Amino acid sequence: MALTIPKLPTFNLSPSTLLDIATDLVNQVQQAANDLADKVSPQNATFENAVRPLVAIDNGVKGKVQYLALFQAVSPSPEMRKAPSTAVNMGTCLGK
């Protein structure tokens, strides 16, 4: 089996690029949740058709969220540290 080397992250980004990444991430989660809600009703929900897809959605975004959080923790630029905080606020609005 051949090993696939993942693409290395880019660190030369602007605050607006981080916000674009966050916006795309929020849209991706919303779309995936809507797709799941369209396919599964409370009457036919099971671990396999409801919980596993939710876990897959969560796992799919974790790396991107951590990538955004990295800039909040280590960037010397105040604007770059603030952009991930704005992104986190966008994400917390998903459940509202």
Tokens read off for 52: 């596993």
Provide the 3-class DSSP secondary structure of residue 62: helix
Please state, in angstroms and rounded to a whole number, the distance separating the CA atoms of residues 44 and 55: 18
Nearest to 36 by CA among 52, 22, 24, 23: 52
Gap between the Cα atoms of 2 and 19, Å rounded: 35
Q: Which residue has the higher pLDDT, 5 or 1?
A: 5
23-76 pLDDT, tens digit per residue, is 888 888 899 999 999 999 999 999 999 999 999 988 888 888 888 888 888 888
81 has pLDDT over 80: yes
In the prediction, which pLDDT does 54 show?
92
Structure confidence at residue 91 (pLDDT): 60
Residue bearing the bigger pLDDT, 91 or 20: 20
pLDDT value at residue 96:
43
- DSSP letter at 42? T
* 18 and 83 Cβ atoms separated by less than 8 Å: yes
Which pLDDT value is given to residue 88? 67
pTM over 0.85: no
